[in-house]
Amino acid sequence: MNFKDKYGPWALVTGASGGIGYALADELASLGLNVVTIARSAEALTAQKQEIEAKYGVKVNPLALDVAAPSFPAEVLQATAGLDIGLVVPNAGTIEVGDFAKSDAAANKRLIAVNVEHPVMLANAFASRLVARGRGGIVLLSSTFGYQGVPYLANYAAGKAFILAFGEALHVELKRFGVDVTVLSPGLTRTSMSEGLPLDLGKLPIRSESAAAVARFGVSRLGRTASAAPGILNNIFIFFNRLSPRILPVALFGFLVRRAFRPDARGSLLIGPQ
């Protein structure tokens, strides 16, 4: 069975108007899938629709929705009720950086909704559809930061760790029904979100990759592995991380992240005393 037959005719990608989400929508369309694209900006989604449809001759159904809204999962289900969706990619994510003790409660709640709660709700809602079809897939987005606690990104890293464990479990649960689940764990990726971080990324021992390369890699691993991280250095890091006592990488990244904060951003990022 080819990719389109197994995972088509429709894919759904959240956070699709930029970065990895945009690249994933483009990659799936290049493989012949129609795509439901979801993001907040109707203007960006319209431009994306025109570009993808012109390039690949597929259909694009843009939905301008706020992924952080409590009603988001229900709105997605209602809007896609008439579509035969075979691949679900809850890609949308957000990040909060800084001293957790001084962080904003609303921002923490929003991060958990976007990065954890709503991906789980979408996976839950579509899993039964995919099982009934006897084929299909789910691609969940974690991070290399999901393999350990990361000081100053505590909520973000914890959420990505949840998604990693959740997706690995679903990989086993749903495989027997013909449904593939893979967790994609990108490292540093050149997107507007990473570029907007208040960090001197050159001070971190990581290499950046393009969103297109990450998307191609993630799609290529679907149906092959429970989880996958692009890049040799990322995989070396993950390997040694799993072998070492857990506190060591946590302490190391605490030091590295704190060192990488730009001096002009410390106040606004709620970093505590030196």
Of residues 259 and 218, which shows the higher confidence score? 218
Does residue 198 have a cis peptide bond before it, meaning omega lies within 30 degrees of 0?
Answer: no
Q: Can you give the pLDDT at residue 195?
A: 65
Backbone angles phi, psi at 10, to 5 degrees: -120, 140
The domains located in the chain, with CATH, are: 3-265 (3.40.50.720)
Q: Is the pLDDT of residue 242 over 60?
A: yes
- The separation between the first and the last C-alpha atoms of the chain, rounded to the nearest angstrom, is 58
Taking Cα atoms as reference points, which of 7, 36, 31, 8 lies closest to residue 21? 36
CB 141 within 8 A of CB 90: yes
Cα separation, 119 vs 87, in Å, equals: 13
Q: Can you give the pLDDT at residue 67?
A: 96
Q: Can you give the pLDDT at residue 271?
A: 35
Look at the alpha carbons of 101, 104, 105, 107 in this order and tell me if their dihedral is positive or negative: negative
Q: Can you give the pLDDT at residue 237?
A: 79
Could you say which of 102, 156, 175, 203 is catalytic? 156
Q: Specify whether 156 is catalytic.
A: yes
Beta bridge partner(s), residue 180: 137
Q: Can you give the pLDDT at residue 57?
A: 98
Backbone angles phi, psi at 4, to 5 degrees: -65, -40
- Mean pLDDT, rounded, for 101-107: 92
- Mean pLDDT, rounded, for 171-190: 93
- Picking from 136-140, 172-176, 178-182, 192-196, which range would have the lowest pLDDT averaged per residue? 192-196
Cα separation, 117 vs 68, in Å, equals: 10
Q: Is the pLDDT of residue 135 over 90?
A: yes
